[in-house]
Structure 1
Amino acid sequence: MKSSQALRLFGLFNVCIASAVQPSTKLKNATADPMFQLSSDEDFHFELLRVLSLAPYEGADIGEVLVAAKKIAAGDFESFYDAFYDLATQVDETARNIDKDKYPVSARNALFRASSYYRSADFFLHGNWSDPRINSLWDKQLNAFDTANSLLPVPGKRVNLQARDGNFTVPAIFFGTGLTGPRPTILMCNGYDGSQEEMYHLIGKAALERGINVITYEGPGQPTVRRGQNIGFIPEWERVVSPVVDFAIQHPEVDPEAIGLMGYSFGGYLAPRAAAFDKRIAAVFAVDGVYDFGKSLLDQFPQELKDIFYSGDADTFNSVIEAAVADPSTKTVMRWGVQQGMWSFNIDTPFEWLTKALAYNLTEVADKIKQPIFIGDAQLDQFFPGQAKALADAVGTNALYRYFTADEGAGEHCSIGASVLQSQVMLDWFEDVLSKDKE
């Protein structure tokens, strides 16, 4: 490709991204957005809010995060790492100095927080796959989380489940309520960039408080499987979920007729996809719903660049995207999104990544989802705007579509920052579904 054409396309792409063409993003940048912004970088604001959202369920402390936030320069990935690594090590050291036999709750609180902060320190590092911090930080977060977990009244139990086709294993954690008799159980997975440990704080603990067992798990492309087994995402998520259902129904603590399946963020595609093929699942949560992942990515590109992609001109497409990702002036959502996408899909080029992404859609599967399904949507969703409503429309009458608004403090992607409200709405719905099934 001629350099002049490359520069023109690069400029066109950056103008498109910077103009925030999605209606939700326009609202975010307008005075209509009622939330205080934690960073002038929209995506840093979201990630800071994401950590804060873990505070109600033992995953963070507000003051600590706000002190770290003040040290972060907008758009500077290394400053984000520095701030959270310093915080993580500080809190981890405090935790290790607590006598956990004498003060188990205090030690557990600090260790869970340290684990969250190590995960945040890792978040923007995936552009360089050889960066040793990608693995060292994960080891630290797992160690902190597992030590904290051991101090729970009913510790979660880690297991590794064999996929039915045998070429990967599924790491999972069974969190039991400690109550007698078979209980409702929710299987929970995160999405494009999140861990099963985060799911415990986002909604797992809220479910346990309501007498609902929780099984968190990860599949290909997600943090532990990507690191430990070097496997990227697969579209056939039923290959991941069915072994978890097999595992769940073997437990006397689990009511086999009351199994829910929850997916967060990109998990809003993964969970509905699996539910279409495993009818042992009684209810599904897509938070937020994703109908056509690949299309939602390409919709953010200018038409001329989409034309180049569909023409199959990989060299031109890659050169434009790689130039954009390398330019610090490009919006964080683009730089991080491509880097994380290639890392989590285990793909070497943007063209390959987007080609693979097109397979992640529910266009031929949505009508096979017969279970009740809760589909969350968020007014300010900057990642998958319009996708949740499209999924709800495709699924039909068994879908409950819930639109979370900015005025509720729940308008961010996955209603991040409103975990107490979101848990109340979703878990009450689940209990109502199970009650109706028994009538």
Structure 2
Amino acid sequence: MTKKWTVDDFPIGIYQLNDDQSVNFQMNRFFNWTNDKTMLHQMKGIETPQQTYPQIISAFKRLGQNALEEGNQLRAAMYLRAAEFYLPENNPSKKKLRDQFIELNNNFYGIDNAKHFLIPYSDGNISAYKVMSQNPQGTIVFVNGFDGYIEELSRMMLIFRDAGYNVIYFDGPGQGYMLENYHMPMTHQWEKPMKTVLDYFDIHSAIAIGMSLGGNLVLRAAAYEKRIKQVVCFDVLPDLFTCITHQLPEQIQQKIQKNKIIAVNKADINATLTALMRKSLMLQWVIHQGMTVLGADTPYDFIRKAMQYNTTKISPLVTQDVLLLAGQNDHYVPVDQLPLQISTLINAQSLTARIFTAEEYSSSHCQLGNIGLALTVILNWLKQTMIKQKKLKTFSPEI
């Protein structure tokens, strides 16, 4: 009998596994995708007094190999993905680990080749998956963010499927398959890959859900692609530049303001950020990953390109039903980004916002620690908006 996936298949709680805030978040992330409590004990043993990324990578590889020998596919998949997550783009082991992760993950969830599609786009292919509900209420098109592989989210996609939706989920430019196979950087003009996917599957009405930076990308897509009827920002991310500079020491934030990102300051900004990267594992990873994702040659170029990912100008073009999610203690996206996003969506058909709290174990980025609660909120909101739309269609005012 095929398992029916529900919101209860995600764990509840954020665990202290590593003293580095960013590494701790990522460890909790990979645990959340498995709900495998053995990983909590194993990952806590990784930390060393002077930990480095090579040391962390080596430890995850070892844990992944152990899980393989024990026959635990999903645990092995996530450990190998965790090791690959921290490898630089030019490391020859990166592709092998990525391929192992995808094979093990898809085998565990029963995602076979019949559910996988390569869609021509520009000089490469968009990698997309489609899972079908027996009695679909609609079609969800799910967009990933800054650093994920869409396969990581398989459990979430199957929960949406088993809640009654056909689900299409894909890696576009700057993500997963397109980034690794074609080195195609991300575009802020997300309506272009979204149109390609909707056209390919002949979708005339879609629910667009974007996770992390995807919360920025789906708003951009909805502004220009009206086949999207409902939009979910899971979480909000209206200004990528602000989210990046939020990670910097306050005195450096003053030095790297938007009006100072100009050519004459390039050498100084590069020197400042390079020095910071030597002191912080998080900034080291964020800036290297950002340069790869956005196709930038230097930290300055990455910061400058990040300024394109701002929803202020396009938000008035969004006329759909919109749900905004935010975490009270999100260390990547400050919670004050939520009112900023609300203030710009002046023409939305309807606008709903939800802040998640520490008391709910869901105040972190993308509600890590209680993803099941976030999915419950999304599914309830979808049900309510669909009921409202049906009433509007059948309403006939008296003349």
Task: Tell me which residue corresponds to 1:229.
Answer: 182
Task: Tell me which residue corresponds to 2:8.
Answer: none
Task: Tell me which residue corresponds to 1:90.
Answer: 66
SS in 2 for 1:436: helix
Aligned residues: 370
Task: Tell me which residue corresponds to 2:10.
Answer: none
Task: Tell me which residue corresponds to 2:216.
Answer: 269
Q: Work out the CA distance in 2 between the residues paired with 1:183 and 1:246.
A: 20
SS in 2 for 1:312: helix
Q: Work out the CA distance in 2 between the residues paired with 1:311 and 1:89.
A: 47
Q: 334, 337, 340: which is aligned to 1:390? A: 340
Task: Tell me which residue corresponds to 2:9.
Answer: none
Q: Work out the CA distance in 2 between the residues paired with 1:84 and 1:64.
A: 11
Q: Work out the CA distance in 2 between the residues paired with 1:381 and 1:335.
A: 19
Kept after mapping to 1: 8 A contact 2:175/2:293: yes
Query: Once the 2 structures are TM-superposed, how far is the Cα of residue 204 of structure 1 from its aligned partner?
Result: 1.1
Query: Once the 2 structures are TM-superposed, how far is the Cα of residue 378 of structure 1 from its aligned partner?
Result: 0.4
Q: Work out the CA distance in 2 between the residues paired with 1:305 and 1:404.
A: 30
The one-letter amino acid of 1:122's match is: E
The one-letter amino acid of 2:24's match is: H
Kept after mapping to 1: 8 A contact 2:14/2:28: no
Q: Work out the CA distance in 2 between the residues paired with 1:311 and 1:231.
A: 25
Q: 41, 46, 71: which is aligned to 1:71? A: 46
Q: Work out the CA distance in 2 between the residues paired with 1:173 and 1:207.
A: 13
Query: Once the 2 structures are TM-superposed, how far is the Cα of residue 406 of structure 1 from its aligned partner?
Result: 1.0
Task: Tell me which residue corresponds to 1:334.
Answer: 283
1:149-298 matches, cutoff 5 A: 149=109, 151=110, 157-163=115-121, 166-177=122-133, 179-180=134-135, 182-201=136-155, 203-249=156-202, 256-257=204-205, 259-298=206-245
Q: Work out the CA distance in 2 between the residues paired with 1:406 and 1:389.
A: 19
Q: Which deviates more from structure 2 when the two are superposed, residues 339-348 or residues 410-419?
A: 339-348
Query: Once the 2 structures are TM-superposed, how far is the Cα of residue 169 of structure 1 from its aligned partner?
Result: 2.2
Judging changes above 3 Å, is the alpha-carbon distance between structure 1 residues 308 and 275 closer, same or farther for their aligned structure 2 residues?
closer
Task: Tell me which residue corresponds to 1:120.
Answer: 82
Kept after mapping to 2: 8 A contact 1:185/1:260: yes
Q: 412, 425, 431: which is aligned to 2:377? A: 425
1:380-430: CA deviation from partner (whole Å, max 9, x where unpaired): 111121223311221146221110111110011111121111111111111
Q: Work out the CA distance in 2 between the residues paired with 1:411 and 1:316.
A: 36
Query: Once the 2 structures are TM-superposed, how far is the Cα of residue 156 of structure 1 from its aligned partner?
Result: 6.2
Kept after mapping to 1: 8 A contact 2:173/2:185: yes
Kept after mapping to 1: 8 A contact 2:34/2:74: no
**Residue 304 (str. 1) matches residue 260 (str. 2):** no
Q: 369, 387, 402: which is aligned to 2:318? A: 369
Q: 304, 315, 319: which is aligned to 2:271? A: 319
Kept after mapping to 1: 8 A contact 2:14/2:369: no
1:263-285: CA deviation from partner (whole Å, max 9, x where unpaired): 11111111111111111111111
Q: 108, 125, 129: which is aligned to 1:148? A: 108
Q: Work out the CA distance in 1 between the residues paired with 2:69 and 2:207.
A: 38
SS in 1 for 2:117: strand
Query: Once the 2 structures are TM-superposed, how far is the Cα of residue 303 of structure 1 from its aligned partner?
Result: 1.0
TM-score by length of 2: 0.86
Kept after mapping to 2: 8 A contact 1:72/1:83: no
Larger relative contact order, structure 1 or 2 (CA cutoff 8 Å, min sep 6): 1
Judging changes above 3 Å, is the alpha-carbon distance between structure 1 residues 402 and 312 closer, same or farther for their aligned structure 2 residues?
farther
Q: Work out the CA distance in 1 between the residues paired with 2:79 and 2:14.
A: 23
Query: Once the 2 structures are TM-superposed, how far is the Cα of residue 155 of structure 1 from its aligned partner?
Result: 7.7
Q: Work out the CA distance in 1 between the residues paired with 2:316 and 2:365.
A: 25
Kept after mapping to 2: 8 A contact 1:220/1:234: yes
Q: Work out the CA distance in 2 between the residues paired with 1:156 and 1:147.
A: 13
Judging changes above 3 Å, is the alpha-carbon distance between structure 1 residues 115 and 285 closer, same or farther for their aligned structure 2 residues?
same
Q: Work out the CA distance in 1 between the residues paired with 2:216 and 2:198.
A: 18
1:343-402: CA deviation from partner (whole Å, max 9, x where unpaired): 212222001111111111111100111111111100111112122331122114622111
SS in 2 for 1:171: strand
Query: Once the 2 structures are TM-superposed, how far is the Cα of residue 186 of structure 1 from its aligned partner?
Result: 0.9
Kept after mapping to 2: 8 A contact 1:392/1:400: no
Task: Tell me which residue corresponds to 1:99.
Answer: none
Q: Work out the CA distance in 1 between the residues paired with 2:361 and 2:199.
A: 38
Q: Work out the CA distance in 2 between the residues paired with 1:261 and 1:35.
A: 28
Q: Work out the CA distance in 1 between the residues paired with 2:170 and 2:98.
A: 16
SS in 2 for 1:291: coil
Kept after mapping to 1: 8 A contact 2:240/2:309: yes
**Residue 40 (str. 1) matches residue 19 (str. 2):** yes
Task: Tell me which residue corresponds to 2:352.
Answer: 400
Kept after mapping to 1: 8 A contact 2:27/2:43: no
The one-letter amino acid of 1:37's match is: Q
Judging changes above 3 Å, is the alpha-carbon distance between structure 1 residues 205 and 156 closer, same or farther for their aligned structure 2 residues?
farther
The one-letter amino acid of 1:193's match is: D
Q: Work out the CA distance in 1 between the residues paired with 2:64 and 2:231.
A: 34
SS in 2 for 1:282: strand
Q: Work out the CA distance in 2 between the residues paired with 1:73 and 1:244.
A: 45
Q: Which runs of 5+ in 1 are unaligned?
A: 1-33, 96-109, 251-255
Counting aligned pairs with the same residue, the percent is 25
1:314-361: CA deviation from partner (whole Å, max 9, x where unpaired): 112112211221x2xx23321211111112122220011111111111
Q: Work out the CA distance in 1 between the residues paired with 2:113 and 2:184.
A: 29
The one-letter amino acid of 2:229's match is: A
Kept after mapping to 2: 8 A contact 1:389/1:401: no
Judging changes above 3 Å, is the alpha-carbon distance between structure 1 residues 286 and 42 closer, same or farther for their aligned structure 2 residues?
same
SS in 1 for 2:44: helix
Query: Once the 2 structures are TM-superposed, how far is the Cα of residue 80 of structure 1 from its aligned partner?
Result: 2.2
TM-score by length of 1: 0.79
Kept after mapping to 1: 8 A contact 2:231/2:320: yes
